Structure 1
Amino acid sequence: MSTRPNKTYSGSCHCDSVRFEIATDFPELTTCDCSICRRKNALMVKVHESQFRLLSGEESLSAYQFHTYTATHYFCRTCGIYPFHRKRVTPDHLGVNVFCLDDFDPSNIPVRATVGAGMP
């Protein structure tokens, strides 16, 4: 169980076209070994859709789906940065790239490696 209080964090893509907020206590961060996550090398926090708010830039987002077409990975059309994705196994949750959060240091949060490559 996390000892961090639930707090709101702001984030964006590199060019600031896509802005969002999340509320989380950061129980853990995850990496994934599936073909897309391995290539984008993101460090993610899982948040329920009710704890995520897109502030601006919906028109700047491009979506990418593959394999089962359940997960949806979002990228900024301008700068190409991946800020978040809708998860495959828990589609009411998003994986948020913590490197897109403003003034956030992930160094003291446990990281769990997830297996995406072996998912059927």
Structure 2
Amino acid sequence: MDLVKHTGGCHCGAVRFEVLSSPDLHVFQCNCSICTKKQNHHFIVPKNHFSLLQGSDDLITYTFNTHVAKHTFCKTCGVQSFYTPRSNPDGYGVAPHCLDPGTVRSVTVETFCGEKWEESMQAHKSIRDMSKPEADAQLKNTQ
């Protein structure tokens, strides 16, 4: 699997990160209440493929409902570059629109029905595995 190092961050530059992922991103578009309000599109990576380079003191976290998802955002500009998704608390959901240009080859968008979260999670065959370290090889096999 060809992984590339993507870099990115928030609007004001206080928060910067790097993430190892395929150059071909599998992005989820969710319609749950919070994702709809903030137009949260994200791809999922294992925790060990994500590094916060700067800005830990500039992050604020918002939780609601089950409090499993950790919606982190920059306290200066308000941008959520990444977060810990409820579907994958052992990984990160990264906003592709917060990546620096030059490392993304393609983007495939999959709609996820967050309005019926439990049913959608049960029906989805691979989302939970996307935050596992071996997920990159599995994702390559499904594309």
* Cα deviation code 1:56-76 (max 9, x no counterpart): 000000000011000001110
Contact map agreement 2:6 2:20 (CA 8 A) in 1: yes
Partner of 1:13: 10
Across the two proteins, how many residue pairs are aligned to each other? Answer: 117
Distance 1:104 1:36, change over 3 A: farther
Bigger mean CA deviation after superposition, 16-25 or 106-115: 106-115
Structure 2 length-normalised TM: 0.76
Superposition RMSD on alpha carbons, in Å? 1.7
Partner of 1:75: 73
Query: Map of 1:107-118 to 2, 5 A cutoff?
Result: 108-118=106-116
Matched AA of 2:10: C
**Among candidates 93, 96, 110, match of residue 94 of structure 2:** 96
Distance 1:98 1:57, change over 3 A: same
Distance 1:106 1:43, change over 3 A: farther
Shift of 1:39: 1.1
Ranges of 4+ aligned residues in structure 1 off by more than 3 Å = 104-108
Report which of the two has the higher share of helix: 2
Distance 1:105 1:116, change over 3 A: farther
Shift of 1:104: 5.0
Distance 1:105 1:33, change over 3 A: farther
Q: Which has the larger radius of gyration?
A: 2
Unaligned runs of 5+ in 1: none
Shift of 1:5: 2.1
Structure 1 length-normalised TM: 0.90
